[in-house]
Structure 1
Amino acid sequence: MSKKNIGPMAILFIIQFLVMVGFGIVVPILPFLVSKLGGGAFALGVFMSAYSIMQFFFAPVWGKLSDRIGRRPVILIGLLGYGVTFLMFGMVNNLYILIVLRALAGIVSSATLPTAMAYLADITEGADRAKGMGMIGAAMGMGMIFGPALGGFLGEYSFSLPFFVAGGLALLLLPFTWFFLPESLKEMNKGSGRKRARLTPQVLKDPLFFLFAFNFTLNFTMSMFESTFALLAAAKVGFGPTDMGITFAIMGIFAVIVQGGLIGKLVKTFGDAKLVNTGALLCAVGLSLIIISADDKSIVFLIASTVIFMVGNSLMVPTSSSLVSKQSNRGQGASLGLFQSFASLGRILGPVTGGALFALYMGLPYMTGAAILVLVVILAGRKISIKVSEPLVQD
């Protein structure tokens, strides 16, 4: 990777790390906070879905805007909005206002991830692009290691404190980003007449739709896992909050190892498309093993199964993002915005579906997720491999 890109890469790494710390820092306290304010499981589901619903609609808007005015201003807007909304979270004690604020947070935070990916796509190419996407994934994985641990610690003192810390971190990063993150989009490319990214049925005909479908499936199965695993582990092996924190920390460590250290070498050896398909199959294997290990009441086997699932996830995320940026014909920001919207759609439908299936049978969300992943590989995996073997479409 070019030396001139190291500085911007470091800033993007810190941004995504802090964004995910802010996301993870509230995970341990959300159920208790919602309960304290008089809400139940349904209110918690609405609270979680509000964020993803807004991301679904606004990620393409931010991506398109970054193609028009540049990456840097959109990232700054995202950071400012992220910090302000989290500070407001800490000041509010009304459940309905919190849900509105959560929706607002989803709108502004969706400016950061797709725009950061588009920024990387501007300054990298080839295997370096997948490596850069992997570093962003590693930053997010590290954030999910430190965030929940920090949130659990701070939540012992006050439910508001984690929100203040998360918001404060984002606002502290704002001037640093303002002064040291240069614009990556060339002036000649701003506002160019590229195809607009619209969430209409026409997206089914998009050459990148199969990658969008992969991202939807990945996030759909991941959110089913996230929304039911604590209940499954508590019922089967007696896990509590501390055990869950340790489990997610272990998963985060493996995500960092794969995305931060291995993905560049793996892409050079096997290529993006093979890793996308392999990652999906590993996710399916991990979900299947989670059911078996939970029924056997084996804690070590259960944690190992979640690690397999996370390794598969870590292979899919950076490589599929890299493929989208390489094959984009509408502007990288716009395409990555659409890509992120399909992730948000998966996170909207996943918790609801997972909860309904879990009520029928505890293992059903995992069986369903594994089956869907295998089906997507069968239907779309070969088309992705064929597509990426064709000459790349240049922006």
Structure 2
Amino acid sequence: MQKQYIRPMVILVIIQFLVMVGFGVVIPILPFLIGELGGGAFSLGLFMSAYSIMQFFFAPFWGRLSDRIGRRPVLLIGLSGYGITFFLYGMAGNLPLLIAFRALSGMVSSATLPTAMAYMADITEGAERSKSMGMLGAAMGLGMVFGPALGGSLGHYSFTLPFYFAGTLALLILPFAWKLLPETLKEPNREPRKKVRLNFGVIRDPLFPLFVFSFVLSFTMAMFETTFTLFAAERVGFGPKEMGFVFMIIGIVGVIVQGMLIGKVVKRFGDAKPAKFGAVLCALAFLWMLWAPNAILLVLGTVVFMTGNSFMTPTSSSLVSKNSHNRQGASLGVFQSFGSLGRILGPLVGGGIYGLSMNTPYIIGMVTLVLCLILFGSKIQDRKADEAESSS
């Protein structure tokens, strides 16, 4: 990576950290805020789904736009829209307005992640690219460590204060992004035939196995996040304090794996093998958690799950960027949309079937991962050119 891109990379990492802080900051206060506005469990689910639904539809649009007009303007649009919508959250006086602002936030902030990944792909190659994707993942993991803790602390004083705080952070970094993010797109892609569109034609896309991989990754992670608090409470008697500790641990594991280990692993093995190994670890972790007879082993199971997830996330996105040629933004946008679809369906499926049996979500998660590897594992491969770059 060229030296002039070190500062922009730092800005990108900070942006993704702030996005996930903003996503996580609402978690501890959201049930109370929605209850205060007269909503219940259905309203809470609708609020959470609205963000991912809009991401699903708009991430490809922003990705294609970044291929046409450049990464920098799209990133700036996403960051400024993200900050503004958090202020709108704080000013929402009723539930429909709050949900509408949540949908608007998903619409504009979905510009940040696929464009940031495309930006990283523009300035890196080979193992360095996977390492940079891992740094983005680590930043997002840190955001999910600090976000809920920050939201809980600020929410003690006011349910709206965390929203204003997150919005202020985003708008404060906007001038630095404007100043320090140069444009990296050298040749805009203006060929309509090469656009990646999110319709049934995407099944014929060579990257479709990786799009499915993104869905499975997000689907299983969302099922875990939705049900694990209930599962741990019923299985080993965990309460809010213990759950905060558990999510802090798995957040730290994600940061270590994606921020420190993934670059070394990819340099030796490429991207495809760690991605598939991560899927195997996640499947085994689900089986482990079903078996775990005590609290310590249950927590260790979550560590194994997060380790596998942290191997899957940066390597799969790196594979998409390496195999998408001059349409990285569009391909990563579709990749993120499949991830958003997983985040839409995961909580609905996990929460719905948990009432039938507390073990069922974990069985379904394990089976989904195994089926994905059986059906698509052989098609998830490194490009030879990139393997040569990695070993050079």
Bucket of the pairwise TM-score, normalised by the shorter protein: over 0.9
Structure 2 matches for 1:88-99, cutoff 5 A? 88-99=88-99
Measure, in 1, the Cα distance between the counterparts of 2:98 and 2:118: 31
- What's 1:112 paired with? 112
1:312 aligns with 2:308: yes
Q: Which ranges of 4 or more aligned residues in structure 1 deviate by more than 4 Å?
A: 389-392
Measure, in 1, the Cα distance between the counterparts of 2:276 and 2:303: 18
Measure, in 1, the Cα distance between the counterparts of 2:140 and 2:161: 22
- What's 1:123 paired with? 123
1:245 aligns with 2:244: yes
- What's 1:14 paired with? 14
CA deviation profile, 1:279-324 (whole Å, cap 9, x unmatched): 001111112222222xx2x221111111111110000000000000
Measure, in 2, the Cα distance between the counterparts of 1:66 and 1:42: 36
Structure 1 stretch displaced more, 75-84 or 92-101:
92-101
Task: Indicate conservation of the 8 Å contact 2:189/2:327, yes or no.
Answer: no
- What's 2:218 paired with? 219
User: Could you say what secondary structure the match of 1:199 adopts?
Assistant: coil
Structure 2 matches for 1:234-383, cutoff 5 A? 234-293=233-292, 296=293, 298-329=294-325, 331-383=327-379
Structure 1 stretch displaced more, 319-328 or 41-50:
41-50
Residue 193 of structure 1, CA deviation: 5.5
Measure, in 2, the Cα distance between the counterparts of 1:226 and 1:235: 15
Residue 389 of structure 1, CA deviation: 4.5
AA aligned opposite 2:161: L
User: Could you say what secondary structure the match of 2:38 adopts?
Assistant: coil
User: Could you say what secondary structure the match of 1:217 adopts?
Assistant: helix
- What's 2:389 paired with? none
Residue 277 of structure 1, CA deviation: 0.4
CA deviation profile, 1:91-135 (whole Å, cap 9, x unmatched): 113111111111111001100000000000000000000000000
AA aligned opposite 2:154: L
What TM-score, normalized to structure 1?
0.95
- What's 1:205 paired with? 204
Residue 35 of structure 1, CA deviation: 2.1
AA aligned opposite 2:328: Q
Measure, in 2, the Cα distance between the counterparts of 1:384 and 1:250: 30
- What's 1:87 paired with? 87
Residue 194 of structure 1, CA deviation: 6.0
AA aligned opposite 2:206: P
Measure, in 2, the Cα distance between the counterparts of 1:70 and 1:280: 33
Structure 1 stretch displaced more, 325-334 or 201-210:
325-334
Distance 1:194 1:333, change over 3 A: farther
Distance 1:61 1:78, change over 3 A: same
Identity of aligned residues (%): 64
Residue 38 of structure 1, CA deviation: 2.0
User: Could you say what secondary structure the match of 1:207 adopts?
Assistant: coil
Residue 152 of structure 1, CA deviation: 1.0
Task: Indicate conservation of the 8 Å contact 1:26/1:151, yes or no.
Answer: yes
Structure 1 stretch displaced more, 65-74 or 375-384:
375-384
CA deviation profile, 1:41-76 (whole Å, cap 9, x unmatched): 211111111110000000000000000110010000
Task: Indicate conservation of the 8 Å contact 1:60/1:338, yes or no.
Answer: yes
- What's 2:25 paired with? 25
Measure, in 2, the Cα distance between the counterparts of 1:316 and 1:260: 13
Residue 238 of structure 1, CA deviation: 2.5
Task: Indicate conservation of the 8 Å contact 2:69/2:188, yes or no.
Answer: no
Structure 1 stretch displaced more, 36-45 or 8-17:
36-45
Measure, in 2, the Cα distance between the counterparts of 1:89 and 1:344: 21
- What's 1:165 paired with? 165
User: Could you say what secondary structure the match of 2:195 adopts?
Assistant: coil
Measure, in 2, the Cα distance between the counterparts of 1:359 and 1:288: 19
Unaligned runs of 5+ in 1: none
AA aligned opposite 1:305: G
Structure 2 matches for 1:61-72, cutoff 5 A? 61-72=61-72
Distance 1:239 1:35, change over 3 A: farther
Task: Indicate conservation of the 8 Å contact 2:70/2:188, yes or no.
Answer: no
Task: Indicate conservation of the 8 Å contact 1:141/1:256, yes or no.
Answer: yes
1:44 aligns with 2:44: yes
Unaligned runs of 5+ in 2: 387-392
Distance 1:318 1:178, change over 3 A: same
Measure, in 2, the Cα distance between the counterparts of 1:359 and 1:325: 39
Measure, in 1, the Cα distance between the counterparts of 2:385 and 2:128: 18
- What's 1:103 paired with? 103
1:132 aligns with 2:132: yes
User: Could you say what secondary structure the match of 1:360 adopts?
Assistant: coil
Residue 226 of structure 1, CA deviation: 1.1
Measure, in 1, the Cα distance between the counterparts of 2:298 and 2:57: 36
